[in-house]
Amino acid sequence: MAEKAILFDATKCTACRGCQVACKQWNGNDEYIPTEPNGVKASNRGSYENPPDLSPSTWLKIRFTEVESGGRVRWLFTRQACMHCTDAACVRVCPNGSLYHNGLGFVEYNKDTCTGCGYCVDACPFQVPRSTRSLLTGIAKMDKCTLCTTQGLNRLDDGMEPACVKTCPPGALQFGNRDEMVAAGRERVGTLKTMGWSGANLYGENELNGLHVMYVLDDYPAVYGLPAAPRVEGVTRAWKNVIQPLGWAVGGLTIIGLGMNWLVARTNAKKEAK
């Protein structure tokens, strides 16, 4: 099965935020700006950008960045959501496999088995996952974009595009086979460079072994507030490859030790009974 991807062209985005609304509607999240303690407090901060950040019920938002160039100020618009990395830090650190890659290359998760440990929140180089703790049960859960593959709400299985792509008026979002999106992104970057945008680039083609949400940018990633060279930190690799397996081994030895202790105690008790 061919891997799929979203291509976001920041130069075409008008920040209408229709993608934000479509995401909330399709996934059954609240259709209003969430208020504390279950979301981000709504307030007038002197900006059109709202809500100010992602939350457990806001999986996608358009980020506004003001830059000055040639004595003029312009807005840069960035799609902020899960990047569905091939080398995903969240998948590496998840203790029980609640986060995993599906056949299309996207990072899915099983919310029912999520323990709310928060390791994915700390590990993500794009600072995407958000966690909340229920005031009623005290149980914490993580939430993020599933790229419309949530069980029972899977648009892709029904042959539809992700909701954000479907609703984008200026066509800033495309969806298709990843290799085709890479080709389209490269072509658009070439066009931008002929128009004088020397810093134009395709972000996500190779980062973290390839992202499944790629950006066409007319300037360098750092200008858009994106990490120029995102990476899985050494501690993340150590957690998944060394510390976590060691923990399982220690836990297993502990269980074996307790079992042997129980057997010895049971044997001694039988001897004393005789």
| Window from 21-25, 175-179, 259-263, 269-273 with minimum mean pLDDT | 269-273
Domain check: are 99 and 150 in the same one? yes
Q: For 60-118, what is each residue's pLDDT tens digit? A: 999 999 998 888 999 999 999 999 999 999 999 999 999 999 999 999 999 999 999 99
Domain check: are 240 and 212 in the same one? no
| 58, two tokens | 């806001």
Whether 99 contacts 88, CB under 8 Å: yes
Domain region containing 271: 233-274
CATH number assigned to the domain comprising residue 47:
3.30.70.20
Using DSSP bridges, classify how beta strands 4-9 and 213-217 pair: parallel, antiparallel or unpaired: parallel
The CA distances from residue 217 to 1, 4, 48, 80, 174, in Å, are: 29, 20, 21, 14, 15
- Nearest-10 Cα torsion for 252, 236, 107, 228: 180
Q: Give, rounded to a whole angstrom, the gap between the first and last alpha carbons of the chain.
A: 67
Whether 130 contacts 141, CB under 8 Å: no
Percent of the chain with pLDDT over 70: 80
Domain check: are 251 and 149 in the same one? no
Whether 47 contacts 53, CB under 8 Å: no
Q: For 245-262, what is each residue's pLDDT tens digit? A: 654 454 556 667 666 676
Exposed, middle or buried by CB within 10 Å (0-12, 13-18, 19+), for 244?
A: middle
Domain check: are 83 and 11 in the same one? yes
Domain check: are 218 and 246 in the same one? no
DSSP H or E stretch at residue 146: none
Give the predicted TM-score (pTM) of the model.
0.81
Q: Which of 141, 79, 61, 133 is nearest to 109 (CA)?
A: 141
Domain check: are 91 and 9 in the same one? yes
| SS3 category, 6 | strand
Q: Which of 10, 219, 209 is nearest to 92 (CA)?
A: 209
Q: What DSSP character marks residue 58?
A: B
Domain check: are 150 and 220 in the same one? yes
Contacts of 144 (CB under 8 A, 6+ apart): 54, 59, 81, 82, 107, 109, 128, 129, 130
- The structural domain count of the chain equals 2
Nearest-angstrom CA–CA distance, 161 and 214 = 16
For the cut 70, the answer to whether the pLDDT of residue 268 exceeds it is no
